[in-house]
Structure 1
Amino acid sequence: MRPLRFTKMQGIGNDFMIVDGLTQDVSMSPSQISQLASRTTGVGFDQLLIVEAPTHPSADFFYRIYNADGTAAGQCGNGARCFAKYVYDKRLNPKRSLTLQTETSRLTTKRLSANEFKVSFAAPQFDPEMVPFKPTGQSHPEVSKWSFEAPGQPAVKFGVCNVGNPHAILQLSSAAPSDLSEWATALTTAHSFPHGVNVGFMEVMNEHEVRLRVFERGAGETLGCGSGACAAVAVGRQWQILAPSVKVHMPGGTLSIAWQGGKNKIEMTGPAIRVFEGSAHLSP
């Protein structure tokens, strides 16, 4: 088998292996993807992005997203910026603005500089059926707040939304380093989320700034999550505690998120960095 050519990229520490599926065969099993994702014996990444031809005439590219465990994902905000950077670096399309398709959504990217990109997503969806979310706990009078109680833990309030993939956002007094994995695991595996969920822990510093940690389904805690940043701001706006423009600080860096509410698109601006080029051989 020929070596698989790839580019390693990262956006605020959220890292990706990007493969051109237009010029090479990239058929891979979930086990092969997880082998490549290994940080000790493989390339190492949070998600794999595969470039494909668009399926709609208005789109420039289609791309598939796979988590480190080999499962498919519908959306990835940091990945969208890195994908646009890849297209720019590889000269696959000369346009400054691109329309991209994923399995679950359509989005636009705009190159602001060689390493900075803006992504515009469809308006967040809060309807539990669209997340999807099947609430079993008691709802609260506050807008879009739900209650969840893990075994042996006190109940917490959280919000849900879909920004191309499902997110649950919990507000904490501090998102400083601590073991939040039990909460994340409990929510990710809860029957209320039939397709699993990405879990974000948000600390509101003021109406224009938050700190955020995100545990992504299929990848665990990552240094940054673009869709998670969008979801946190969207939920915060629904709760009327955040302004239309917010800086979201994550362990790997900061993203700028803007959302005017309602049916308006939500916008994310941040860096995209090429790390290295390489090739890999797939194990059977």
Structure 2
Amino acid sequence: MDILKRDIAFTKMQAAGNDFVVIDNRSKSFTKDELISLAPNICDRKFGVGSDGILALSPPEYDKVDYTMFYRNPDGSDAGMCGNGARCIALFAYSIGFDKQHRFNVHDNVYEANIQDSDSVIISFPMEASVIEEDIDGETLYAIHTGTKHAVKEITETKLQHEEELVTEGKKLRYHEHFEPKGTNVNFICGTDSTNLKLQTYERGVEDLTLACGTGAIASALVWHHLQDNNTSGRKYSVKTKGGTLSVHFSFDRKTNTYSNIKLEGPAHFVFKGTFLQ
């Protein structure tokens, strides 16, 4: 049966204002291709439920994980990892019987979830990351991969408020030839002190500013650490977005200039449950 002709049960969730349609797919009711085709319809804010992406909790694809997190952008494209979505699906998993501490995979990476409460869901990232300085049209940007590709640009606090300009510049950089073929997410940051910063993210696949971006918050915190030539490790960085404040924890190896033991902490909340009618 065509997925677009089915009635689809879903849960609406949000994490720091980054909102998602969550589907329980443990019974394999939907194939990956069906979920991809569903994304533009169910994520549409005028004709669908409306969200920044679609999440499906699917059976585990690897040993020693509890489930697979399937995520797609509103346009159906593969975003890689989504940090805010991960906190939502972890809380959703707990609500349907999984332990507070559990493991899940996104593609071939395994993540760990630790749920304190709805205001504190912690996701541990398995990869190491490095900050790479890039010259883009005469300006210095910082490229980093935190489960998905990000570019980070430091700007003034005044410029951070000019959202129309951020959208224009974000779109330009997101599609810049330097980041071909798939492009990049673009983060605009302004530091307020050594471990606090403000962030606006232009997300590829959403093609607009979002209220928060979890992997963008990680990328921005690591770049802010890099910009200060900071030798410290194990400190918590607070990243303020329009949707709320996210905390980033990490270790730093000065010899290799790599970041590891990366954790993203922040809220996740249920909004409502419903049925998407076709």
Cα distance between partner residues in 2 of 1:156 and 1:264: 28
Q: What pairs up with 1:257-276 in 2 under 5 angstroms? A: 257-262=248-253, 263-276=259-272
SS in 2 for 1:192: helix
**Equivalent AA in structure 2 for residue 75 of structure 1:** M
Deviations 1:74-128 (A, max 9, x none): 100001110111011122x1x22111101252211101124421111124433xx
TM-score, normalization by structure 1: 0.86
**Equivalent AA in structure 1 for residue 241 of structure 2:** M
Cα distance between partner residues in 2 of 1:105 and 1:239: 28
Cα distance between partner residues in 2 of 1:256 and 1:125: 17
SS in 2 for 1:73: coil
Q: 1:163 aligns with which of 146, 157, 160?
A: 146
Deviations 1:229-282 (A, max 9, x none): 001111222333566321100011100111122352111111000000011134
Q: How many residues of Structure 1 are paired with residues of Structure 2 in the alignment? A: 259
Q: 1:145 aligns with which of 133, 142, 148?
A: 133
1:72–1:216 Cα change, 3 Å: same
Q: CA deviation at 1:29?
A: 6.1
Matched, 1:209 2:205: no
Which moves more between the two structures, 170-179 or 250-259? Answer: 170-179
Gaps of 5+ in 1: 127-142, 150-154
**Equivalent AA in structure 1 for residue 175 of structure 2:** T
SS in 2 for 1:232: helix
1:278–1:241 Cα change, 3 Å: farther
Q: Are the counterparts in 2 of residues 18 and 48 from structure 1 also a CA contact under 8 Å?
A: yes
Gaps of 5+ in 2: 254-258
Cα distance between partner residues in 1 of 2:252 and 2:136: 26
Structure 1 vs Structure 2 CA RMSD: 1.8
Q: Are the counterparts in 2 of residues 144 and 239 from structure 1 also a CA contact under 8 Å?
A: no
Q: 1:230 aligns with which of 205, 218, 221?
A: 218
Q: CA deviation at 1:30?
A: 4.4
Q: CA deviation at 1:24?
A: 5.4
Q: 2:242 aligns with which of 234, 251, 255?
A: 251
Q: Are the counterparts in 2 of residues 257 and 268 from structure 1 also a CA contact under 8 Å?
A: yes
SS in 1 for 2:48: coil
Higher helix proportion, which one? 2
Cα distance between partner residues in 2 of 1:53 and 1:115: 27
Q: CA deviation at 1:196?
A: 1.3
Q: Are the counterparts in 2 of residues 9 and 18 from structure 1 also a CA contact under 8 Å?
A: yes
Deviation beyond 6 Å, 4+ runs, structure 1? none
Matched, 1:186 2:180: no
SS in 2 for 1:33: helix
SS in 1 for 2:177: coil
Percent identity, aligned pairs only, is 29
**Equivalent AA in structure 2 for residue 159 of structure 1:** Y
